[in-house]
Structure 1
Amino acid sequence: MPRYRLATAVSTVAIVGAFMVPATAQAAGLRWEKCPQNEDVWCADLQVPVDWATGRGSITLKLARRDATTDRKIGTIIYVPGGPGDSGRGQLLGKNWLSEAAAERFDIVSLDPRGTNESDAVKCDAGLIDDMPNLNPDTGGRLANVIEYSRAVEADCRKQPLDVMDHMSSRDVARDVEAIRAAIGEQRISLYSRSYGTLAAQMYAEMFPHRTRAVVLDSVFDHSLSGRQLLESSVRNVEDSFYAFADWCARTQSCVLHGKDVGAVFDDLYRKAERGELTEPSNPAKGITATELSWLTMRVWLYRPDWAGLADRLARLSGLLPPGAPVGFPSSKGFFPMAAFCADHRITFRSESEWRWQWARLKAMAPHLRTHMVWQIASICAGWPIPATNLQRRPDVRVPVLVLNSRHDPATSLEWAVNVSGQIPRSALLTYEGAGHGVYNRTACTEQVTDRYFVDLVLPAPGASCPSGTTAP
């Protein structure tokens, strides 16, 4: 049986004492100006080194800030967005991620992480990036083609003058967060992080404990997992979310697939896609691959979650309802955030047969969804020419941490949250007994528990949970 080469752990670098925030950041006196997109939000730029180890180069971090709404301000919460590739600045322009109670007491500052969006994004040829190779071995996908694609993308992205791609790990982002802290003049900061951003937050708490007041890891990423563990736990998790949806549909008369075998409906569509016969109902000229069917099911409907919308979509694809609006992934616009994931993970396949063996194993674990978007990312990272600089290992965090996770989260599993909470001695886990990706703003209960920690530094008791919202899920 082929063996998967597991990532090896690396020892923690003794970096806290050696790392210094550049004087330019300490004295930045950020020039905050009202954002033209939203005058309730302040925007600023912060220059940081491309390479924190040597101080070489300079990139511009794009920041946004919303002020506390009362004069009883406690401090600043820095929001570290997920993805990788989400725009924290853009999200803060749209809304305040803090609850009303927390927004009264804290400024909130966020950023576009380095190499993404407005912070000197790694820009490449959009046509090349969007021409993704087939990642499904059952329909002709080959690892050799994926590796060729990875190398071609890296070579094209390398054409820009800054070597940001070489310095996009979550450890680099953590150093950027420390530069933000110094620039805003806070002695200590609180962190709210979400999804992939929870990895940078763990790095920050580990590297700068004396600057850390509170840390919330919402829908947490477990960086201690080997390549195989990451793939297999991800696919088990998305299948669990699909089963939760199917169970809801069986119990809910308003579900348009109520009374039908939802798993069988999906399987029929998947097999049709494998044969090249599944098309967009409103545009029969546009085919839908089996991989796209699974990934869109996860990313569009299970994430939110929107179970009624997913049932509607499957019914339209099956011809049980008239065609609706088309659904698809937007163009990358030449943006390649997967470089950040590759910087944080060493993932290798030693042969084509090993890649195919792993695929077959994932399908057996998830008989409906078959795959997870992590399969795409892991396969591309296996061929990524730039070595990972922030290898997988357990966190060494000694400050109090609040971990939040849904019971049925298709992206970051409750299994991961239990693992991470167990790895951080002074942490507490709050489980939201519902579905979807992201917990803080789900219900009054999840907000109250999180806000009590932010405001009073009180963690919930072991085994704490919040019920699902009044309207499923």
Structure 2
Amino acid sequence: MKRALVVLATAVVAGAGLAGPVSASPALGWGPCPEDAAVECASLTVPVDWDRPTAGTIEVRVARKRATGDRIGTLFFLPGGPGGSGVGAVLTRAPLSAEIAARFDVVGIDPRGTNRSSPVVCDADLADLPAGVPDTGARLVDVAASARRLGRDCRARTGPLLDHVDSAAVARDLDALRAALGERQVSVYGISYGTLAGQMYAELFPRRVRAMVLDSVFDHSLSTRDFLTSEARAAEETFGQFVAWCDREPSCALHGRDVRRVYTDLYAEAVRGELHVPGDPAAPIGPMDLIGIAVGHQYGPAWNQLAGLLAAMAGGTAPVALQAAEVVEFPMAVFCADHDFRFSSQRDWADAWREVQRDAPTVGGHFAWSAASACASWPARTGNPQHRTDVDGGPAILLMNSRYDPATPLEWARGVERQIDRSVLLTYDGWGHNVHARGSA
């Protein structure tokens, strides 16, 4: 895995002569971050609507950790999510390797509509959208009504920004940040959903890119059905890796049992409304809750914990840690702003669910289903609908992806590699989400 680290460092460090001069901009007002004086924080003022720059502004928060060695230039860190914090990543950990941090000022951004950058804010109760699936008799009309009700509340609390939180707008914020820093070109590292903002930056401002690495790649070209079924295949394939591990690993809490049967029995209970947190009948576990547990534990992956949770649910002998934190921010609005999902009818919605289940016969689906279902009726502008990434010029782009990634499947990275002429895909032949963190550990 050190190979990934070496390639990443080479991609961003090569061509050092391309970086422009640094000119600290007084407009940014850099100062010590309250959380850590060794890191600088600042706010960048940008238009709410880049097409109407006089119609109001917001503040985008950024954090900078200075290069520790022979400086080349600035590197933007684009977090995943949506809802990840680039500011938080720079403040709380080293998001990139020491070799890269030595040569670059690493600047993390909280994308507009999230965290410290004018987050989309909604009523906590309404934000707990029903995770409807046709198996339980759920109706698309009810899911749509809930999404519209939530969207209206978010608009009342957030204002016009709700229509302008897409990744293309984030890319324009990035270029304003580049200009404020006095850099002719910048290097970019995007992770997970941040790879979409990276692609939009390369598409809109290819000659402002000095080097770019996209880790765990998001494919923005997919239709509603292709998005859902590819996520379902990823869920099924990564769960299959968990099953194989459990079969060969005596420490697995389900070792010696038919793991797929255990899970499918639990799923059937969830559909019937009979599955709940062991010892707490008042805390039901629905089908999408169970799917979220199965898929979410593939990120690390955290197979020991997943086996323990499934064994606890199957035997009712131990508590299951399911946290339902009160929701006040709603970063999924960003996802809706980037996707024009459509379901024409209840039948179309149910047919899509059957396709998802066909591709995930054990797991039953992917938590992306809930997001797509809600976004199909989201009452806000889709500012950056799906399209093939079209990059005209700029440097070659390094793409990285795990072979078994539960969130951004390898087939997505391969698709983006085909879309961007000057791109190279490095595949980590292993498990989990995020390649660079494994190589720099």
Q: Contact between 1:28 and 1:46, CA under 8 Å: does it hold in 2? A: no
- AA matched with 2:329: F
Q: CA deviation at 1:58?
A: 0.5
Aligned partner of 2:41 in structure 1 is 43
Distance 1:402 1:195 in 2: 14
- Which has a greater percent of helix? 2
Query: Percent sequence identity over matched residues?
Result: 48
Matches within 5 A, 1:186-197: 186-197=183-194
Q: Deviations over 1:164-210 (max 9, x none)?
A: 11111110000011111111221110111011111110010111112
Q: Deviations over 1:308-350 (max 9, x none)?
A: 1111111111128x41452235332x21212211221111111
Q: Could you state the TM-score of these two structures normalised by the residue count of structure 1?
A: 0.85
Residue ranges of structure 1 left out of the alignment (5+ in a row): 1-24, 448-473
Q: Deviations over 1:124-168 (max 9, x none)?
A: 1111112x2241111121100111011111111111363111111
Q: CA deviation at 1:265?
A: 1.0
Q: Deviations over 1:248-285 (max 9, x none)?
A: 11122222212111111111111111222211125343
Distance 2:145 2:344 in 1: 15
Q: Contact between 1:29 and 1:184, CA under 8 Å: does it hold in 2? A: no
Q: Number of aligned residue pairs: give it.
A: 416
Distance 2:99 2:386 in 1: 36
Q: Contact between 1:241 and 1:410, CA under 8 Å: does it hold in 2? A: yes
Distance 1:127 1:391 in 2: 28
Q: Contact between 2:399 and 2:426, CA under 8 Å: does it hold in 1? A: yes
Distance 1:27 1:440 in 2: 31
Q: Contact between 1:134 and 1:142, CA under 8 Å: does it hold in 2? A: no
Q: Could you state the TM-score of these two structures normalised by the residue count of structure 2?
A: 0.91
Distance 2:160 2:213 in 1: 31
- AA matched with 2:240: Y
Aligned partner of 2:400 in structure 1 is 404
Does residue 438 (structure 1) correspond to residue 434 (structure 2)? The answer is yes
- AA matched with 1:110: G
Cα gap change, 1:29 to 1:385, in 2 (>3 Å): closer
Q: Contact between 1:64 and 1:89, CA under 8 Å: does it hold in 2? A: yes
Aligned with residue 424 of structure 1, among 420, 424, 432: 420
Residue ranges of structure 2 left out of the alignment (5+ in a row): 1-22
Q: Contact between 2:403 and 2:430, CA under 8 Å: does it hold in 1? A: yes
Q: Contact between 1:281 and 1:326, CA under 8 Å: does it hold in 2? A: no
Aligned partner of 1:59 in structure 2 is 58
Q: Contact between 2:216 and 2:413, CA under 8 Å: does it hold in 1? A: yes
SS in 2 for 1:108: strand
Aligned with residue 199 of structure 1, among 196, 201, 211: 196
Distance 1:432 1:151 in 2: 40
Cα gap change, 1:243 to 1:161, in 2 (>3 Å): closer
Distance 1:288 1:429 in 2: 39
Q: Contact between 1:432 and 1:439, CA under 8 Å: does it hold in 2? A: yes
- AA matched with 2:322: V
Aligned with residue 349 of structure 1, among 343, 351, 357: 343
SS in 1 for 2:219: coil
SS in 1 for 2:266: helix
Matches within 5 A, 1:72-87: 72-87=70-85
Q: Contact between 2:131 and 2:370, CA under 8 Å: does it hold in 1? A: no
Aligned partner of 1:258 in structure 2 is 255
Matches within 5 A, 1:75-114: 75-114=73-112
Cα gap change, 1:441 to 1:283, in 2 (>3 Å): same
Does residue 168 (structure 1) correspond to residue 162 (structure 2)? The answer is no
Distance 2:206 2:24 in 1: 18
Matches within 5 A, 1:238-387: 238-281=235-278, 283-299=280-296, 301-319=297-315, 322-324=317-319, 326-332=321-327, 334-387=328-381
Q: CA deviation at 1:123?
A: 0.9
Distance 2:339 2:183 in 1: 32
Q: CA deviation at 1:243?
A: 0.4
Q: Contact between 1:219 and 1:437, CA under 8 Å: does it hold in 2? A: yes
